[in-house]
Amino acid sequence: MHIHILGICGTFMGGIAMIARQAGFKVTGSDQNVYPPMSDELQQADIEIYQGYDEKQLDLAPDLVVVGNVMKRGMPVIERLLNDKIPYVSGPQWLYEHYLKNKRVLCVAGTHGKTTTTSMLTHILECNGKNPGFLVGGIPENFGISARSTESEFFVIEGDEYDCAFFDKRAKFVHYHPEVAILNNLEYDHADIYEDLHSIQKQFHHLVRTIPSKGAVIVPSESQSLDEVLKMGLWSKEVRVGAREGLHAKLLKLDGSLFELYMGDKFICEVSAKITGLYNVQNILMAIAAAHEIGIDYESAAHAMASFKLPKRRMELKGEVKGVKVFDDFAHHPTAIKVTLEGVRAHVGTDTQIIAVFEPRSNSMKAGVNGDLLPKSFDSADYVFVYKSPQVSFEVEKDLVGCKVPWEVISNFDNLVATIVTKVKKPCAIVCMSNGSFNGIHAKILKKLQITTF
């Protein structure tokens, strides 16, 4: 069967392409911006990629077109698709109908931490001989690829609440029908498609409705927004994580990299992991709890974390010059910014300067949604820079008035890089946060540091 994927270079659609190719399908695709690393990964898999969305690509006569959510009415390829009545489907629907329906699916959903927790859970299963297939919204360092197909009955998937396609506005995860679902957390986000928190909660409850009664929902011990979701109806096993009566941690190091694992009052083992931040401790607990639901004992799951590596762009060290470390992180929501910087502070202590560099790039942040939460997000930093690109439509300066940390909003990118370096006091950690490439700021800061005298 020949499938043609529109929007193939996105992480999710590229992952589908890799799974389909490994499963024996003929795969081609197109995208507006064909660029590494996904383009290289796809081409190495013998997947032909076309630049742009012209209608001629459908002369390939695919059996089925898989439509990504970047596609819109009015695009030539979409108009021909509809006019010629060529069979089409969304990516999540294709994944379920042609692949997931024969698997035991473990799904990780939530506003924050999906990629990291999915990577953790996949690694735990791998270390315990389950050989899982997976699809992650990033690159898990332990595997080096974002998706793979295996003969295993288990498949681990990151459950995105963003919509499926122009013709299917439900959350992607509604299609996955998991046996075990992790609901990490839930806050208001994706203001471009959701009116308010309640509308997102409804999508999460649609996911809960698909979980079988013999399955399980893993949730944190305290989350009002998720409690409200479960009050809409729950027909599966509920597993609470973080409270003393359930699976919980006792820190041995403040940064969370070493802790004791308990189930109620019973000590399980020590857990060591190359992570920072209490939020990552919770991610570990959620992954261990989910693995336990498919038969992996707590201690075996916990021991796997010693060899776990954080995914790309999750506090990824890009380089160090003269005692100054430059990190790349995917944080783009105020809560994610806050917990990321708290984790850095716990790790480096009070003697190291932290410079936070933030690009409001998500559709929500560019419009100023949750902007009132920004001031307290930077409390753990010593200095804050916000890059105000031309796409940012709100007055960042007004929202930052209550920030207790010295801050600057800079609109010129070159000035941003130059000014950051002038504020450095060794030792220093520069944490660059964006859900985009941030114009390659990490390499430019490192280059500037090399020619700067401190």
Of 83-92, 291-300, 444-453, which range is least confident?
A: 444-453
**Which long-range contacts link 416-423 to residues 24+ away (Cβ below 8 Å)?**
416/357, 416/385, 416/387, 416/441, 417/441, 417/444, 417/445, 417/448, 418/448, 419/385, 420/355, 420/357, 420/385, 420/445, 420/448, 421/445, 421/448, 421/449, 421/452, 423/355, 423/383
Residues 257-277 have a mean pLDDT of: 94
Residues 10-23 have a mean pLDDT of: 90
Which span out of 7-21, 28-42, 281-295, 319-333 was modeled with the highest average pLDDT?
281-295
Three-state DSSP at 258 gives: strand
Percentage of the chain with pLDDT > 70?
Answer: 97
pLDDT at 35: 63
Categorize the per-residue pLDDT at 396 as very low, low, confident or very high, splitting at 50, 70 and 90.
confident
Categorize the per-residue pLDDT at 98 as very low, low, confident or very high, splitting at 50, 70 and 90.
very high
Whether pLDDT at 188 is above 90? no
Percentage of the chain with pLDDT > 90?
Answer: 69
372 vs 52: which has the higher pLDDT: 52
Categorize the per-residue pLDDT at 368 as very low, low, confident or very high, splitting at 50, 70 and 90.
low
**Is residue 360 classed exposed, middle or buried when 0-12, 13-18 and 19+ CB atoms within 10 A define those classes?**
buried
Cβ partners under 8 Å of residue 4, min gap 6:
27, 28, 29, 30, 57, 58, 60, 62, 64, 65, 66
Categorize the per-residue pLDDT at 37 as very low, low, confident or very high, splitting at 50, 70 and 90.
low
Residues 50-69 have a mean pLDDT of: 96
Read off the pLDDT of residues 194-219 as tens digits, 9 standing for 90 and up: 888 999 999 999 999 999 999 999 99
Mean pLDDT, the chain, rounded, equals 91
Cβ partners under 8 Å of residue 423, min gap 6:
355, 383
Read off the pLDDT of residues 341-366 as tens digits, 9 standing for 90 and up: 988 898 889 899 999 999 988 766 76
Q: Set out the domains of the chain in order of their start, with CATH numbers.
A: 2-91 (3.40.50.720), 99-307 (3.40.1190.10), 316-450 (3.90.190.20)
Relative to beta strand 180-183, strand 104-109 is: parallel
pLDDT at 451: 82
Of 171-175, 183-187, 369-373, which range is least confident?
A: 369-373
This prediction has a pTM of 0.86
Whether pLDDT at 389 is above 90? no
Residues 101-117 have a mean pLDDT of: 93
Whether pLDDT at 289 is above 80? yes
**What does the alpha-carbon distance between residue 173 and residue 157 come to, in Å, rounded to a whole number?**
9
pLDDT at 181: 98
Bridge partner list, 328: 316, 432
Read off the pLDDT of residues 417-433 as tens digits, 9 standing for 90 and up: 999 999 999 899 999 98
Whether pLDDT at 144 is above 90? no
pLDDT at 278: 85
Read off the pLDDT of residues 153-173 as tens digits, 9 standing for 90 and up: 999 999 989 899 999 999 999
pLDDT at 36: 63
Whether pLDDT at 66 is above 80? yes
103 vs 144: which has the higher pLDDT: 103
Got the DSSP string for 317-336?
A: EEEEETTEEEEEE---SHHH
Whether pLDDT at 258 is above 80? yes
Categorize the per-residue pLDDT at 61 as very low, low, confident or very high, splitting at 50, 70 and 90.
very high
pLDDT at 366: 62
